[in-house]
Amino acid sequence: MFALALLLAAAPAPDPEALRQVIIARCGIAADRLAVEPWTDPPEEVLVVKGDELLPDGQLSCLGAALSQANVEGYPVAFSFDDFALGKRYSILRGREGLAQMGLLDRLPVYDAERETRARFARRLERLCKARPGSLLIVRRGNIRVRAHVFDDPKLLGSDAVVCAVNALEASGFNALGMPEAIYVPVTVVTTPAS
């Protein structure tokens, strides 16, 4: 345990520029589409996907895999999208990939606003994820999101049910973490192997 603590203490800090270079080379995303920007709240360097031009699903998937790999290796890098629609498409794609990895994508329910409430849809997602109804998801301000208590419980946070619920929400186009739309940064907690 002590040796692991020493290794972690000696590990270099996350390097957004190094990850940017990896993504450019591995994913074929143009260098001018990725930037490292200093943010002040909280103070950190953030990898930002610039512009609103279309990126193919393969490039978005590769971007997600590179970000996940950095996270798994202990070097998480904050990231964002200039364009909300592109960020949302990324989020939906990553959610679908996560559910596919769990073998649940073909069972993902489809939300129909004319036939059901968001609360009822949330219960269907919890059933998909084998969670007790009302235990993980809540409707707030017209959005379905993960309940706050989940983030305070280490046993719940990394559980298959929570990972499934976040992916199911994102795959369905909902803002799983409940961030205001103006600062919404899609985040997926499932990791996928690097390509």
pLDDT in tens, 93-102: 999 999 999 9
| Final residue belonging to a domain, choices 25, 47, 82 | 82
Q: Which parts of the chain are beta strand (E)?
A: 34-40, 43-49, 78-81, 137-140, 143-146
Residue 122 lies in a domain: yes
Residues 194 and 107 in one domain: yes
Task: Return the closest-CA partner of residue 190 out of 98, 99, 103, 88.
Answer: 98
Boundaries of domain holding 157: 103-195
Residue 181 lies in a domain: yes
Q: DSSP letter for 52, please.
A: S
Q: Are 168 and 160 in contact (CB under 8 A)?
A: no
Q: Are 47 and 36 in contact (CB under 8 A)?
A: yes
Residues 77 and 6 in one domain: yes
| Final residue belonging to a domain, choices 82, 111, 127 | 82
Residue 21 lies in a domain: yes
Pairwise CA distance, residues 122 & 174, whole Å: 10
Residue 47 lies in a domain: yes
Give the pLDDT band of residue 178 (cuts 50, 70, 90). Answer: low
pTM: 0.78
Residues 114 and 67 in one domain: no
Task: Return the closest-CA partner of residue 177 out of 136, 124, 130.
Answer: 136
Whether 188 shows a pLDDT value over 60: the answer reads no
Q: Give me the sign of the Cα torsion angle 121, 89, 92, 46.
A: negative
What is the per-residue pLDDT for 57?
A: 95
Whether 1 shows a pLDDT value over 90: the answer reads no
What is the count of structural domains for the chain? 2
Q: Which tokens sit at 149? A: 């208590």
Residues 124 and 187 in one domain: yes
At 25-59, the pLDDT tens digits run 999 999 999 999 998 877 888 999 999 999 999 99
Residues 65 and 112 in one domain: no
